[in-house]
Each structure stands twice: as C-alpha cells, then as structure tokens.
Amino acid sequence: MQKFDAFTGNLAVATAMKQINPDVCAAYPITPSTEIMMIFADFVSNGEVNTELVTVESEHSAMSACIGASLAGGRVMTATSSAGLAYMWELLSVASGLRCSMVLTCVNRALSAPLNIHCDHSDAMGAKDTGWIQIFSENAQEAYDNVIQAVKITEHKDVRLPVMVCVDGFIISHSYEKMQYMEDKEVRDFIGEFNPYRSLLNVEKPETFGAMVLPNYYMEFKRQVREGMEKARRVILDVGNEFGSRFGRYYGYFENYMLDDAEIVFVVMSSAAGTVKHVVKNLRDRGIKAGVLKPRVFRPFPAREIAEALKNSKVICVLDRAETFGAEGGPLYLEIKAALQTAKSSATIISRIFGLGQRDFLPVHVENIYKEMAGYFETGNIKMFDYVNVRD
Amino acid sequence: MSELKSWKEIPEGVVIEEAGNSEEYKTGAWRSFRPIWYKDRCIQCYRCWTFCPDLSILIKEGKVAGINYEYCKGCGICAHECPKKANAIEMVPERT
C-alpha cells in the first residue's frame, strides 16, 4: 500500500535507506548531501534501523570503510557530493575492481574553483570511467525509486559492481515535492536478503582480498569489470520491470517524451529534463515535431538503444551540465555522438553546456536553442558547441 | 610461473582463494645485493632470523644455517642487525 507525502530529494533518499536498513553506512558531511546522513543518523539513534553508522574523518576514509564492510559481506550505503566524491576518487576504482556491492547517492554539485556549493554534474562525470554503474534521477520520486532498485542491481551475482545514484543538488535535494512511497515491508520484500558470495570475515576459509597484480594479470581483472558492466544492462532492465510490476512505476535505460516522430530532439538528464519537456510540449501544441530523450542510465551507456530511439531525429541538441574543457562537447554529447556514428545516423548533433554551478536554465533558454535548431533547416548553419545563458 | 589463465577462469574481484600461497612466488630475482653468511663468525644470536621480513634465514636443527636465496630480496636488514663484534653477514653486489 503506497502513500503520498511531501519529500525533499534528501528526505526521499534517507527514507529509502531507512527502508533498506543497510548493515553499514560510512559517510562524511558535504553540502548538499549532508542532510541525507543527518536524517539517517536520526533513524539510527531512534533504533529504526540496525545500521552501523561510521562517522569517519574524510570521504577517502568513508569509501575505504564502505569497501571493507562490503568485502566483509555487508549491505553498504553512503552519500556524498562534489569535492567529497573527488576525494573518494582513488577508492572508486578500488570498489569496482574488488567487485564491491554498495550504493552511493551522489547529490550532484559543482567542483571548485571557484568554490560553489550548487548543482552541476562535474562530480559524477569525473567518476564516469571508474567502473561504477551510474543512474540519474529527475526528481525526488526517481531518487527514491532508483536508490531502492540500485540495491538489487549492485547485489546481483552477475553484476557485483557499485552503483552511484545521482540526484541534482538543491534543485532536487532541497526542494519539496509530492512523492509516493512504499511501506517498509514492501521495500524489504523487493530487495530481499543479501547473500554475499564471499566474506572477508569467513575464518573457516581465509582468502586474500586486494592483492597486487602485475602486468600479466591486471588486464584480465579489468576485463571482468567490463563483463559485469555488460551484464548489468539486462539486470537494470529486469529490476526496473520488476519494480514497475510491484509498485506501478516502470524504469528503463531512458525516458522518451514525444520522441516517436520527432525531428528536433533534446537529450538531457536529471532535473533539467522537466524544463525541456515543458517547452517541448508547447512546441508540440504549435505543431512542431519536437521531442526529448532523458537518459537515466549513463553507465553502462545504452548506446544501441538510444541510437534506435533517435533514428528519426534530424537535429539533436545534447545538453550537458558538465564541461569537458577541450573535448568536442560535453560528456553526454560525446556518448550520444559515438552511439549515432556507430548507427550511421545522418542527424546533426550539437553540444550545449548549461547550468554549471546551478546557473539558471529556464524555458526561454530552451526556446532559444529551439530557434537555432529550427533555423538550421533553412540556413544549414548552426553552432556545434556553445554555452547556454552565459554572459558573452 | 604457472600457466596464465583467462579472465573467465580467475576469481572475480582480485581474490586469492587459497591461504598461504606466497611460497609459490619466488622473489629472489628482485635482489640487487646478496647477503653472504659466514658460519665461522656467526654467534647464533638469531637477530637476523628475528628481523628478516621474509623468513629467508634458514634454520637447521635449531641453528642458523644460511640464507634462502629463492626468497631473499636483499634488503640488508640481517646484515644491519648482525652484532658488530660478530659481523657474520656481509652484503655484496649481485652479479647481473
């Protein structure tokens, strides 16, 4: 039996964590994710969960403790943002390389300098190639649903890779919105018991974890991580379908919005997708064939499926809330362009960087990009790369 | 080194499933200095055996009996710890 209530993104994630009741959480506070562990610490103190909450001295230690707890066979969760994720970076590939099951909520925030506590995706994008599964959330509901699904994905025997659930800082983490949530028992039935395949604490059968590997074996272990990532593709779909059949909200790799016959298409992740969908709806009302593709799963990247969904597109604008400084476009743009090249698409694909450090991204900005794209049909000219809402 | 296995044959997550298998990995080739033990100078104080980080001091019938060159990495701790009045271990450059 599901109920509705008002949740911030952080409260949604903390509530999911309470219902999941992990064995170990190790975390260090950083804006805007601090509140998740603050709220969760109340659940621990009030005896609503059995979690061992480890208050470490840094994010580097937080991830180290999570890795140890995961290898010991625990169900492990943590949360961080921005510089906190950057400080964990060394350990992120340790977690994936050692095939740790764990769930990290990354409340997306800009990287310094200049120091900025507000939203962009530069933290998560900096970690995109560390062997973590990455799932992006548009709103509090998706954040809640994704965190619960992430437990099932990370613990699947074919996957055993850590999962990062991304939630836009402040825009989602600190804004209240209506959200539907399950009963504790429904969530616990869905995720089931965790059966770790090994445990560091098994003294009956001692094993060595994290040994050094020389050039003659290193690539074999990395090849295994890729295999886990490949197998995650099916597991993510299966878990999204099972979640939908139980709770009525189905999840796949991405969301299509008015995409079927769309010629002018925006590709955008997370909260900004709501703004773009609003503008596209207005364009449709005017008879314009516009659409939106909102990727949810960034790692593993669903290249083939996205290329198929975009096969009728003529002009595609990929919106990135992260910079790549010197590459042809933003990180999402590069993935989309590669996917469409493989599919031999003839669409024109442009890159637009928006919302860095939570710069406003309003319907008028989407409309301006639309005008550029519409103009391309007449002139054949369009800027391949640009910033949105920056003072020139 | 035993035959190399494919990525499908090795345990996931860099786990070594058997305990105590470091014996299979010979580290003697790492040496750039070789400890030479002089039986006639040795006073059997066991300091070299105590401090050797690799169990490379051989003991036979309760007595120091030499160096295990299959594992000794040539760190020189044994020579450093050997009492000055005995000076029973000397480090000499390993011939390449």
- The reply to whether ipTM tops 0.90 is no
Check whether residue A42 and residue A133 sit in a common domain: yes
| A-B C-beta contacts closer than 8 Å | 46
* Predicted pLDDT of residue A14: 98
User: For residue A375, is it within any domain?
Assistant: yes
Phi, psi of A40 (to 5 degrees): -65, -35
Range A137-166 average pLDDT: 98
Distance CA A177, CA A167 (A): 14
Test the B interface: residue of A96, A160, A205, A207 with most B CBs within 10 Å: A207
Q: Is the pLDDT of residue A270 over 90?
A: yes
Range A217-224 average pLDDT: 97
Q: Is the model's pTM score more than 0.90?
A: yes
* Predicted pLDDT of residue A128: 98
Domain count, chain A: 2
Taking phi first (over 0 means left), then psi (-120 to 50 degrees means alpha), and beta for anything else, what does residue A21 get? left
**Which of A230, A247, A264 is a domain's end point?**
A247
Check whether residue A367 and residue A335 sit in a common domain: yes
What's the CATH code of the domain at A273? 3.40.50.920
Distance CA A212, CA B55 (A): 20
**Which of A215, A232, A247 is a domain's end point?**
A247
Check whether residue A241 and residue A320 sit in a common domain: no
Q: Residue A215's closest chain B neighbor by CA?
A: B4
Tell me if A133 sits within 8 A of A104, measured CB to CB.
no
User: For residue A26, is it within any domain?
Assistant: yes
Domains, chain B, with CATH or none: 28-93 (3.30.70.20)
* pLDDT, tens digit (0-9, with 9 covering 90-100), for A355-380: 999 999 999 999 999 999 999 999 99
Test the B interface: residue of A101, A156, A158, A208 with most B CBs within 10 Å: A208
Q: What share of chain A is helix, strand, coil (3-state, %, to 5)?
A: 45, 20, 40
**Structural domain that includes position A49:** 3-247
Q: Is the pLDDT of residue A262 over 90?
A: yes
Check whether residue A209 and residue A350 sit in a common domain: no
Distance CA A342, CA A373 (A): 23
Q: What is the amino acid identity at position A103? A: V
Report how far apart, in Å, the C-alpha atoms of A304 and of each of A59, A308, A310, A330, A335 are: 36, 6, 10, 19, 11
Q: Residue A220's closest chain B neighbor by CA?
A: B7
Q: Is the pLDDT of residue B1 over 70?
A: no
* Predicted pLDDT of residue A1: 86
* Predicted pLDDT of residue A354: 98
**Which of A222, A247, A272 is a domain's end point?**
A247
User: For residue A392, is it within any domain?
Assistant: no
* Predicted pLDDT of residue B4: 95
Token pair of A370 as six digits? 């639309």
| Residues on chain B touching A67 (C-beta within 8 angstroms) | none
What's the CATH code of the domain at A71? 3.40.50.970
Check whether residue A110 and residue A196 sit in a common domain: yes
Measure in Å the smallest separation between the Cα of B70 and chain A Cα atoms: 19
| Beta-sheet pairing, A385-387 with A348-353 | parallel
